[in-house]
Copies of this chain bind each other. A is one copy, B any other.
Amino acid sequence: MLRWGHRPRDFRVTTHVALTARAFGSSGLILTDVEDKSLKANLEKTIADWGGCFTFEMGVPWKKAIAEWKKNGGTTIHLTMYGQNINEAGLMEQIRSLKRDVLVMVGSQKVPPDFFSEKFSDYNIAVGGQPHSEIAALAVFLDRMFQGKQLSTEFEHARIKVLPSKRGKCLADSDKDKQPA
């Protein structure tokens, strides 16, 4: 997953993008063009506590990141309200049938026009044509891509995990289960 256009005022939004990518089955995040060490630390803490594998790169120029992905045979998908509607018949099936590594790309309000070009985006997909949120777009795209299964996945090497419950908060904390040496 690739995030373009992280500005200081978007700090919380980019954190939500990163956590959503991880929780919804992405294998990593590339934060292009800028660096954000506190986001990196935040993600490392999340992975240490909640498990799973999730890579994080930052500061790579966006064109370079995309070119590399495509060179390795991957597909690139730009989520934008201007794209073809995600509800279009057969679209998600088509993407899944490619059986390629997919780079999902979200920007902030104004991405450079090149983002829309064939050179960079194999698909421009709209999670509806209304203004809303790149976090919402990412979540729905991944939910449909993985057909909901990602929300039942167990993350490996988790220190803590939630035990689903109709009332209240139930957490399993493996540190608390450990016997003293």
Contacts and interface: CB of A to CB of B under 8 A. Distances in A.
Interface string A117-159: 1100001101111111101111110010000101110010000
A136 B23 CA distance: 10
Contacts of A130: 19, 22-23, 50, 155, 162
Contacts of A65: none
* Chain copies in the assembled complex: 2
Given A10-B12, A135-B16, A136-B20, A126 B164 contact: yes
Majority secondary structure of chain A interface residues (helix, strand, loop or mixed): mixed
A83 interface: yes
Contacts of A10: 12
Contacts of A137: 139
A86 interface: yes
Contacts of A69: none
Interface in A159-181: 161-162, 164-171
Interface in A70-85: 81-85
Contacts of A140: 139-140, 143, 151
A113 interface: yes
A83 B4 CA distance: 33
Given A136-B136, A140-B140, A127 B113 contact: no
Top 8 closest A-B pairs, CB basis? A136-B139, A129-B162, A16-B133, A23-B130, A128-B151, A23-B132, A135-B135, A20-B136
8 contacts: A12-B12, A16-B16, A24-B132, A24-B136, A82-B168, A82-B171, A85-B151, A133-B139
